[in-house]
Amino acid sequence: MGRIAMISLHTSPLDQPGTGDAGGMNVYVIELAKQLARRDIGVDIFTRATSSSLPPIVEASDNVLVRHVHAGPFEGLTKGELPGQLCTFAREVMRAEAMHLPGHYDAIHSHYWLSGQVGALARDRWGVPLVHSMHTMAKVKNAALAEGDTPEPSARLIGEEQVVEAADMLIANTDDEARQLIDLYDAEPARVDVVHPGVDLGLFTPGPRKDARRRLGLPVDADVLLFAGRIQPLKAPDVLLKAVAVLLHEDPSLRDRLVVPVVGGPSGSGLEHPEALADLADDLGLDGVVQFVPPVDQAELAEWCRAATLVAVPSYNESFGLVAVEAQATGTPVVAAAVGGLPTVVRNGHSGLLVDTHEPRDWAHALRQVIDDPGYRDALSAGALEQARQFSWERTADRTLDAYRRAVEMMRDEVTVGG
């Protein structure tokens, strides 16, 4: 492998995770690209330009280039409107490749279905294999919608089916996602590979909790229940707030020691009512308990995780749940919904707790198990560190490279049979 074309159309790996459409996928793309570059593989990441001030090419790190493609208006386009710009985006990607000799790229790795549509066209034009990562799937999301959330449109379902059919290899984050690709999208099992995402174990490290709290301006003796992620119904931060309200109703004395930071910004359908979560906090009487914090970079997120007593991940669906791994890497237990990839990430009773429902009382019970028992919390903390060591970007890159090589072989066999 000499050079890979990565396509991340709808969100740039340079964007700040935690707001808009930027999240775990952004981290995934840039961290994987950096790891591939350390193996002497060049990576070009094609993404849509969202500002006229963006340079055409940004060197994100040695041998990793982010290429800003002009496709449609720079601002104001929602993700739902992006399919109308696929032709323009694809044309510009083709033009960039045409500036080089044939064979400039050895493989294409597309992320999310919109990118997969472009990747399928590039595959046929360049004669190189397409490897695709779904990250989220419409059929899965629609089966587990949060109350008041909007179903994914049929155009996305059809588009995902087309990408699954076109891809030489599909990379699933977990065994559960692999089964969904096979059962819901009729993917050929031989063309599905499971590669867990990783965590930066040099950045997300354990450290003195009190020191982290002092640096963040948090009370050193508080019970800090952290939510970190995009504020939208799918991520279910409201479940955490309602659970905290139950805790305070059951034991009003907890008000003196509970702090609930919500780190992130509105995203997706949450943009329709950006103040909804703050209004809910007021309605629940959580003033002085909930703190809203704008999105932070990875280094500061690690600090928030160190400072937390636990990290709550109450999502209705997660293909993996990167923040859960990041929290565990700092030695902080996770209380998570038992959905999607989270049971792969969190070992129930060992590195955290999995909750089978989204009922506030069930969540309040799980939270209380952690905050009321220091010995149990310490045991979970040790288990969290052990669990996180299973996930590294180095291992992710090695397994992804294997998938690339398998895709090359599969395409070569197809050409041989077809000839």
Binding residues for UDP-N-acetyl-alpha-D-glucosamine: 16-17, 24, 230, 235, 296, 318, 326
- Give the C-alpha separation, 43 to 3, whole Å: 6
Which of 144, 308, 154 lies closest to 216 in space, CA to CA? 308
Do 178 and 215 lie in one domain? The reply is no
CATH number, domain of 174, equals 3.40.50.2000
Token output for 87: 């032709």
Establish if 320 belongs to a structural domain.
yes
- Give the C-alpha separation, 204 to 304, whole Å: 10
- Give the C-alpha separation, 118 to 124, whole Å: 10
pLDDT in tens, 252-284: 999 999 999 999 987 554 444 458 899 999 999
The answer to whether 122 and 86 are in contact (CB under 8 A) is: no
Do 219 and 161 lie in one domain? The reply is no
Binding residues for 1D-myo-inositol 3-phosphate: 10, 21-26, 79, 112, 136, 156
Note the pLDDT of residue 269: 46
Note the pLDDT of residue 273: 47
Do 217 and 308 lie in one domain? The reply is yes
Number of domains in the chain: 2
Provide the mean pLDDT of the chain.
Answer: 92
The answer to whether 305 and 326 are in contact (CB under 8 A) is: yes
Which of 41, 51, 42, 49 lies closest to 67 in space, CA to CA? 49
Binding residues: 10, 16-17, 21-26, 79, 112, 136, 156, 230, 235, 296, 306, 308, 318, 326, 332
Establish if 339 belongs to a structural domain.
yes
Establish if 92 belongs to a structural domain.
yes
How open is the CA angle 291-319-21, to the nearest 5 degrees?
A: 55
Do 55 and 166 lie in one domain? The reply is yes
Q: Which domain holds residue 374?
A: 209-389
Binding residues for Mg(2+): 306, 308, 332
Establish if 25 belongs to a structural domain.
yes
pLDDT in tens, 322-376: 999 999 999 999 999 999 999 999 999 999 999 999 999 999 999 999 999 999 9
Structure-token match 């995009």, residue found = 230
Token output for 311: 């990290």
The answer to whether 244 and 281 are in contact (CB under 8 A) is: no
- Give the C-alpha separation, 241 to 260, whole Å: 8
Give CA separation, 165 vs 67, 126, 182, 227, in Å: 27, 18, 11, 37
Note the pLDDT of residue 277: 93
Token output for 274: 């950006």
DSSP output for 208-231? -HHHHHHHHT--TTSEEEEEES-B
Say if strands 290-293 and 352-355 run parallel, antiparallel, or are unpaired.
unpaired
Note the pLDDT of residue 52: 86
Token output for 133: 């990562």
The backbone torsions φ and ψ at residue 197, rounded to the nearest 5 degrees and listed phi first, read -65, 170
DSSP output for 287-305? TTTEEEE----HHHHHHHH
Do 379 and 407 lie in one domain? The reply is no
Do 139 and 272 lie in one domain? The reply is no
Establish if 81 belongs to a structural domain.
yes
Token output for 323: 């923040």
Do 268 and 385 lie in one domain? The reply is yes
- Give the C-alpha separation, 138 to 160, whole Å: 8
Q: 313 has which bridge partners?
A: 336
Query: Which residues 6+ apart lie within 8 Å of 359 measured at CB?
Result: none
Which of 52, 66, 56, 71 lies closest to 12 in space, CA to CA? 66
The answer to whether 316 and 234 are in contact (CB under 8 A) is: yes
Do 264 and 178 lie in one domain? The reply is no
Structure-token match 């996770």, residue found = 334
Note the pLDDT of residue 19: 58
- Give the C-alpha separation, 392 to 94, whole Å: 33
Note the pLDDT of residue 102: 85
Note the pLDDT of residue 21: 64
Sites in the chain below the pLDDT cut of 50:
269-273
The answer to whether 344 and 175 are in contact (CB under 8 A) is: yes
